[in-house]
């Protein structure tokens, strides 16, 4: 999607903590200059680095310092004059990551998370970074299908821009009322053909 002079790319995901650790390891192998940052609001401008995406608050950023240096990121953080500091989540060299979580309305189900990249139309480095990260997720991800919990019905066509990783697919496969979910009205199961 294009908004103004920026492209916005978003991918919905279902990850368990195990999946998040595996994704973090794969990203470190693919990109030598990758950092994971907990972007929760804080009373301090100190950047909270985390070892992998399974740690920290629900909201995180993936920073590629080969595109946007750590010094530039720190400058951006330090330019804020608010009482509670928010940390940059999208932009040059950044991908926002919001974790999947156990659904508050059904503790047996996993609610989706997502990754978002937003970058200037002329920023080819970030565009390529986002494309590569989404491709890695797609290589290990499975498609998901909308289902009815009360009737034995499953959609014929998978959901677009929504993937589940192996551990989440195994754990939240619809058996024993363990579903993937987006809202109280949307229940999904992973593709079991692969």
Which token pair is 15?
Answer: 């990850």
pLDDT of residue 85: 57
Which token pair is 68?
Answer: 């946007």
CA distances for 110 relative to 64, 65, 87, 159, 163, angstroms:
29, 32, 26, 16, 13
pLDDT tens per residue across span 141-151: 999 999 998 88
pLDDT of residue 83: 54
pLDDT of residue 78: 81
Angle between the N-to-C axes of helices 124-140 and 17-30, in degrees from 0 to 180, rounded to the nearest 10: 130
pLDDT of residue 86: 64
**Closest residue by Cα to residue 12 from 126, 138, 125:** 138
pLDDT of residue 70: 94
Mean pLDDT of 118-139: 96
pLDDT of residue 22: 98
pLDDT beyond 90 at 34: yes
Cβ proximity of 173 and 190 under 8 Å: yes
Name the percent of the chain lying above pLDDT 90.
Answer: 74
Measured between its terminal Cα atoms, the distance across the chain in Å is 30
Mean pLDDT of 7-34: 96
Which token pair is 110?
Answer: 């996993």
pTM listed for this prediction: 0.91
The whole-chain average pLDDT of the chain stands at: 91
pLDDT band at 194 (very low <50, low <70, confident <90, very high): low
Bridge partners (DSSP) of residue 35 are 63
pLDDT tens per residue across span 82-102: 655 566 777 899 999 999 999
pLDDT of residue 56: 83
Bridge partners (DSSP) of residue 38 are 48, 60
Bridge partners (DSSP) of residue 117 are 9
Residues whose CB falls within 8 Å of the CB of residue 126, separated by 6 or more in sequence, listed in order: 64, 67, 68, 91, 92, 93, 94, 117, 119, 120
Cβ proximity of 178 and 170 under 8 Å: no
């Amino acid at each position: 999607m294009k908004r103004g002079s920026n492209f916005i790319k978003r991918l919905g995901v279902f990850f368990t903590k195990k999946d998040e650790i595996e994704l973090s390891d794969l990203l470190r192998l693919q990109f030598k200059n990758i950092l994971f940052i907990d972007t929760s609001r804080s009373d301090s401008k100190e950047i909270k680095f985390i070892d992998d995406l399974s740690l920290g608050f629900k909201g995180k950023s993936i920073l590629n310092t080969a595109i946007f240096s750590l010094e530039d990121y720190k400058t951006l953080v330090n330019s804020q004059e608010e009482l509670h500091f928010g940390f940059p989540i999208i932009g040059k060299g950044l991908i926002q990551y919001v974790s999947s979580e156990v659904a508050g309305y059904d503790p047996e189900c996993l609610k989706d998370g997502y990754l978002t990249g937003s970058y200037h139309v002329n920023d080819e480095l970030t565009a390529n970074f986002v494309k590569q990260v989404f491709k890695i997720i797609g290589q290990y991800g499975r498609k998901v299908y909308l289902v009815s919990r009360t009737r034995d019905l499953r959609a014929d066509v998978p959901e677009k821009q929504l993937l589940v990783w192996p551990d989440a697919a195994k754990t939240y496969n619809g058996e024993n009322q363990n579903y993937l979910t987006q809202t109280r009205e949307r229940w999904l199961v992973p593709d079991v053909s692969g």
